[in-house]
Structure 1
């Protein structure tokens, strides 16, 4: 998400540049006009202003990819939004994709509305288009699951880890308080004396050193799990340096670190496992449809030792998705590449044609679920991005939910990552009447390994051997603030969900009962009435990574989000810029009300680095002093 913020600001300033050259209007700019335009852009919260911006951007894109990208880089450097190398790298990858989008779609209409929503946060997502997912067979009311109550046999364990973001270039004793979006690397332009040296096992301004990942996998082996699920994101957050070669090296590092694992690992692709980040093209992007095939080929080969040849072949032919039956069980795992439903995958904006099922992933999901239902199997769905977040297309989330509702008696769990938070989401048969009786499915969302957004953590599930329902969920964590952490992280039990939440519901949770969606809905009702219980959940959700000052609003929106595994029902705020929040220019060009928006984003588990916040503040302070020089250069071209 880092680069989308840079692009957002640069787009706004590029609009000024085009405007100044006279491409948009026959008017000679003055300093007062500059001030007025800057204020207008800061206040631009409607679709009209964004569509006006797209008109200018389209004109620039038609000059060619190089000129489009170079214009963005030039503005970034001129205004010193980021270091020179970050300005260059941040636009080289996604810039041509966005230019392609702009040349392919009109500046007005539904697709451009979606584009403005994803890029600028100034247009609401359009209403969900009516589409009924086709199913090969209707649901049978007489369908009976082999066992409807958990067995008395001991449960087996499954580990769930996510968002490891291993940084191969992590440098011990390098600057952890650097000027870039990600620190703890030996950057050539970082020549000042070290103020905060990077420790061997990580820092909250940095991604995971290899040694921390090694410690994680040792801890996972100690859980005696039957298998592990990994819900994606290997590549570190230095997105301005990511290319195909770097992704391949990061992927190879992951395979090497897990080479001695005692258990199979069933993975999913994350949005960082491709270069440029997030960029999975649809098979309708003529001439570009195979741009991510190298990712699927790489994953197929690397995962084959765990998932087997048939599933590995599916990875190649189903855009990174696969299905398998866990050996010696009746549990089927369906792993989906959720990148085709992600709002900041900019390949999804190059056509105005309605495409309810990009690359046929929903069709693949349905086919595998139908086979499982026919065979009397139970199913776990896994992927990187949970379907209820504010960064999911409402259309695809709605269609996905149709599948979940149709096969709700077969699906016994959904597992995701992406948010870096320890949280969950609930699906309902009737979102207008949310009760324990209408709750139909549960999404478990794993915390991250990377210290960048909190203390490293992972989950272990106790799973019933007959129903494959989750009987308990335990979170293990390592605290960066503990003495001895940098020498040897200690992974300790943070909490047991059964012990923590079971006693809270009326009558308590019976020792033989599984964690049903209805149980978790009752827990959300406790959160509404019991501030202590909610605060504990919020603390663990953030991995001890801070708190929200706007408490009541934060609590209300958090509970709303938990009850929204369908994204159109969440309470995510529409905010300008993907990570900026609502930035308003105050007197003398200062940025006003930024802190409030920043905390709101934190409440929604959207990670915003201190560097990005500082960037917004810095631009607000300097832009009035620098933009006139920029205008003079642009007018003189």
Structure 2
């Protein structure tokens, strides 16, 4: 089909789907973390803006992929991240469920219950935790004070895709809309000030939720990235055909912060929500971030993400064609969610839980690769682990249990292809290299 005709067909399909509530409700969510009900709600809220997009072929294909999971592939748009100097010689996903409906079903088939889903009414004999709760506008302030009094560690937060309304929607500075996320940045800037300091809080407000902050008393800088500008499900990324390699200047801020850390002889930790190797990260921006990682691999000491609600990791390589321990240059550690998905004692969070150490990577995994007591848990260590997981079924199944903390363990083995795909994804800190189809 000629490109022009194909482009028009894609636009017509997208617009027809978005303007038809029945069609929207029927759209399968390729990343169903929020359930089909929220998929409909979010899409409906963005209908007017998205349906008005004037899309070229590549942008239309990307949007089509984001909406329907069609796995449309295209070459990476070549872009070289500018660096100020030549190449030099690790807690996530606490979710408070808003807008609960008193009396709604708490034990439903969706990942978010206690909502007014007409097809899931609460029965008298069902789980009715949704009747419990408190008035947010009054009790929450006192609750926050109590929680803050228990905090003794330093806190460096980062934004996630659920921090905007509608969910995932972070408009670019070039987007023609009043539905931007500045309220999010204003609110978090004020709320985080006492944790990250005034200069970093100013950056949150003026750099789309990203910031860098020096850790007091340490030669360490925390760099928080708003990864939602690289997220497939952020439909504002498709409102223009103009190529924007660095939406809202997030990569530029990271480069500046890393260069400042390097000049000062500091190390850096990168924190963000969405891991750069996941299938729902845009391959262009993931590739550009990898350029930053390669340039500052000796300055970046840690990379910490969330989003998956599980406990895997992703290895970065200097040469992805030769994925060896010698070429492993970085690891993205992906923290599981604080919000549980099993053994829930309350509608939104655990209040009677007993916390304890689940496992130690060094003590549990170290013997599998012959790690000595003084060796670091380096990128090479993680690469060697993937090789053990590929050869040792028992070791892999232990990992498969650990990543969900033993709750709702999903069967994953070699005959189904799941084991190979999982290991492949461990070896992909660039989304272009993951194996999820």
* TM bucket, shorter chain: 0.7 to 0.9
1:496 to 2:360 alignment: yes
Determine if contact 1:394/1:567 at 8 Å carries over to the other structure.
Answer: yes
Determine if contact 2:293/2:300 at 8 Å carries over to the other structure.
Answer: yes
1:561-606 deviation per Cα after TM superposition (whole angstroms, max 9, x unaligned): 0000011011011xxxxxxxxxxxxxxxxxxxxxxxxxxxxxxxxx
Determine if contact 1:416/1:446 at 8 Å carries over to the other structure.
Answer: yes
Spell out the pairing of 1:374-393 with structure 2 (5 A cutoff).
374-393=263-282
1:460-493 deviation per Cα after TM superposition (whole angstroms, max 9, x unaligned): xxxxxxxxxxxxxxxxxxx669xxx987211122
Paired position in structure 2 for 1:96: 48
1:542 to 2:431 alignment: no
1:564 to 2:428 alignment: yes
How far off is 1:73 after superposition? 5.7
Structure 2 unpaired stretches of 5+: 27-34
Higher strand residue share: 1
SS in 1 for 2:125: coil
Q: CA RMSD in A?
A: 3.4
How far off is 1:167 after superposition? 2.7
How far off is 1:291 after superposition? 1.1
SS in 2 for 1:166: coil
1:270 to 2:132 alignment: no
* CA distance in 2 between partners of 1:276 and 1:489 (Å): 31
1:25-72 deviation per Cα after TM superposition (whole angstroms, max 9, x unaligned): xxxxxxxxxxxxxxxxxxxxxx998963532544x59xxxxxx65x32
Determine if contact 1:255/1:302 at 8 Å carries over to the other structure.
Answer: no
Spell out the pairing of 1:123-522 with structure 2 (5 A cutoff).
123-141=71-89, 161-167=91-97, 175-178=105-108, 182-184=112-114, 190=121, 192-198=123-129, 256=145, 258-260=147-149, 261-288=151-178, 291-452=180-341, 454=342, 488-505=352-369, 508-522=370-384
> Per the alignment, do residues 130 and 250 of structure 1 end up closer, same or farther by CA in structure 2, a change over 3 Å counting?
farther
How far off is 1:185 after superposition? 5.3
How far off is 1:178 after superposition? 3.6
SS in 2 for 1:512: coil
How far off is 1:528 after superposition? 1.0
Paired position in structure 2 for 1:105: 55
Determine if contact 2:92/2:338 at 8 Å carries over to the other structure.
Answer: yes
How far off is 1:391 after superposition? 0.1
Determine if contact 1:113/1:123 at 8 Å carries over to the other structure.
Answer: no
> Per the alignment, do residues 264 and 404 of structure 1 end up closer, same or farther by CA in structure 2, a change over 3 Å counting?
same
SS in 2 for 1:279: coil
* CA distance in 2 between partners of 1:87 and 1:434 (Å): 37
> Per the alignment, do residues 376 and 87 of structure 1 end up closer, same or farther by CA in structure 2, a change over 3 Å counting?
closer
How far off is 1:303 after superposition? 0.2
Paired position in structure 2 for 1:54: 11
TM-score normalized by the length of structure 2: 0.86
Determine if contact 1:73/1:88 at 8 Å carries over to the other structure.
Answer: no
* CA distance in 2 between partners of 1:254 and 1:336 (Å): 28
Determine if contact 1:118/1:344 at 8 Å carries over to the other structure.
Answer: yes
Determine if contact 1:437/1:518 at 8 Å carries over to the other structure.
Answer: yes
Paired residues, number: 418
* CA distance in 1 between partners of 2:107 and 2:201 (Å): 42
> Per the alignment, do residues 199 and 281 of structure 1 end up closer, same or farther by CA in structure 2, a change over 3 Å counting?
closer
Paired position in structure 2 for 1:462: none
* CA distance in 2 between partners of 1:96 and 1:121 (Å): 21
* CA distance in 2 between partners of 1:169 and 1:253 (Å): 20
* CA distance in 2 between partners of 1:100 and 1:395 (Å): 24
* CA distance in 1 between partners of 2:23 and 2:82 (Å): 49
TM-score normalized by the length of structure 1: 0.60
* CA distance in 1 between partners of 2:39 and 2:311 (Å): 33
> Per the alignment, do residues 265 and 52 of structure 1 end up closer, same or farther by CA in structure 2, a change over 3 Å counting?
same
SS in 1 for 2:121: coil
* CA distance in 2 between partners of 1:551 and 1:495 (Å): 25
Determine if contact 2:314/2:426 at 8 Å carries over to the other structure.
Answer: yes
1:532 to 2:394 alignment: yes
SS in 2 for 1:278: coil
Determine if contact 2:201/2:211 at 8 Å carries over to the other structure.
Answer: yes
State the structure with more CA Rg.
1
How far off is 1:252 after superposition? 7.3
* CA distance in 2 between partners of 1:430 and 1:394 (Å): 17
